[in-house]
Chains A and B, each alone.
Chain A
Amino acid sequence: MCTVRRAAFWGMLLVCALGILPEGLAEDRPRKLRVSTFSTVLTEVAQRVGGDHAEVSGHVPIGVDPHEFEPKPAVLKVVASADVVLLSAKHLEGYVGKLRQVAAPGARFVEVGSRIPSLWAAGSEGHRSKVEDPHWWHSVSNMQKAVRVVMEEFVSIQPENRAAFESNAAAYGRELEELQRWAKLKVSELPKDRRRLVTSHEAFGYFAKEYGFTVYAVEGLSASEQPSSKKVAELLGVIREQRVKAVFAQDAANPKVLKQVTSETGAVLGAPLWADGLGPGEASTYRGMFRSNVTAIVEGLK
């Protein structure tokens, strides 16, 4: 009887130990960095830099216009437990106040776009003031800066993972350098006097500055702004005068106005551009999105 009791005692002890041990081991393992992002591009940056040490929640789905996005309660719940929140900034996330309200006291808000020099566009008609262009990711140089910003923030929060974050950022940076080289060579196939980019919405200012284009947009910085007949008439004049061969609609935009423009000028409607973030299929990575845009523009305007 005594032997049975002793066996039961040791058995119970073993079961308890097995139950406790994994938790004990988990305590020793550093917790993953919890990252919330509000841009498909920043989701990729966080995943690539954070690697195995980060748990990234991207809240703006592919195909959703970030200018129109509003976080739902389920999103706010995830943000409440985040260590770091990555934002495109430059006034793209008008809901940032809500995020700050629900975030944990120690959570870090990183406005990545604020660390990148801004371009300014004319405000919508009737507004004389200039508006900050939030589409900074259409310049590979800006993306390289964004990667450095995210890497430095991750290192400051989890210095024990410095080596991994730095190595991941360096590998991603090399890919971006390769992409930049490819883009410059691809754009060089287009004569400089053909680098006139007519798009549905004014999202390619940073791209234009980096590769020597002039942009003429139907709508303003937000795709929801509707063009006036005066603006459309001006655009028709530019296309005829500059002999622009193609005009480009944005992924999610209704190309109705651009179709009117093509029918009146003889310009063709080029392949759609990914203006507000990553897209599906080949555009689901930054490299794929950027290559798709550059190829569409160069081939369309040749």
Chain B
Amino acid sequence: MRGSPLVRAFWVWLAVVFLGWPLRSLTRPGGGKVEMGEEKAEPGRQSASDGLSAIRHVELELSFSRPAEWIEVSHLGRTVWRKEKPGSREVQGLEIPFPREGVEFGVRVGWEGDSVSAVRFCLRTAEGEEMERSLWANGNLEAVVSFP
């Protein structure tokens, strides 16, 4: 490379700036793909309750070891899903506030008789994350399922 050391240093600095800028924008937090629990909420899409946690679309899948009579799922004290005579596998999409600490659902399931039954919960986020929980009961079930 020709020129004075000062000119050479300038060319090196220019190269670093050109290469470094896209690298920085790709690697800084929030610059690329949105991370789980750190989603930037769209205006008007925040939780009505606190303005901190964004509303996210999730899918809740329930699978039963034997046919249930009814199911009821509540979120933050409100019933968000109720179904009579559900199939052995049911899926429901939900729009809920999803803080980074996670979410909980109140679950009630009615079965006929008192024999042992199980229900598997699978929560899928729009980002493709999948979390599973299982609960067992003798007779009806009334419990809280926590994700994560």
Binding site for B on A (CB under 8 A): 181, 184-185, 187-195, 212, 243, 302
Contact = CB atoms under 8 A, between A and B. Distances in A.
A214 B72 CA distance: 29
Nearest to B47: A191
B47 to A, nearest CB: 7
Nearest to A186: B77
A184 B49 contact: no
A243 B102 CA distance: 18
A243 B105 contact: no
Interface residues of B, number: 21
A87 to B, nearest CB: 33
Interface in B67-110: 74, 76-77, 97, 99-106
Contacts of B9: none
A194 B50 contact: yes
Given A188-B76, A243-B50, A302-B49, 6 more contacts: A184-B143, A188-B77, A188-B104, A188-B105, A192-B103, A243-B52
A188 B144 contact: yes
15 contacts: A181-B142, A184-B144, A185-B142, A185-B144, A188-B76, A188-B104, A188-B106, A188-B144, A189-B76, A191-B99, A192-B99, A192-B101, A192-B102, A212-B101, A243-B52
Nearest to B146: A212
A192 B74 CA distance: 15
A265 B76 CA distance: 26
A158 to B, nearest CB: 32
Contacts of B146: 212
B53 interface: yes
A212 B74 CA distance: 18
Nearest to A182: B142
B143 A181 contact: yes
A191 B144 contact: no
Contact of B76 (A181, A190, A195): A190
A198 B57 CA distance: 32
A163 to B, nearest CB: 24
A193 B76 CA distance: 12
Contacts of B106: 185, 188
Contacts of A187: 144
Contacts of A193: 50, 52-53, 99-101
Contact of B77 (A181, A189, A243): A189
A181 B144 CA distance: 8
A94 B100 CA distance: 43
B67 to A, nearest CB: 24
A130 B146 CA distance: 31
A212 B146 CA distance: 10
Contacts of B144: 184-185, 187-188
A125 to B, nearest CB: 29
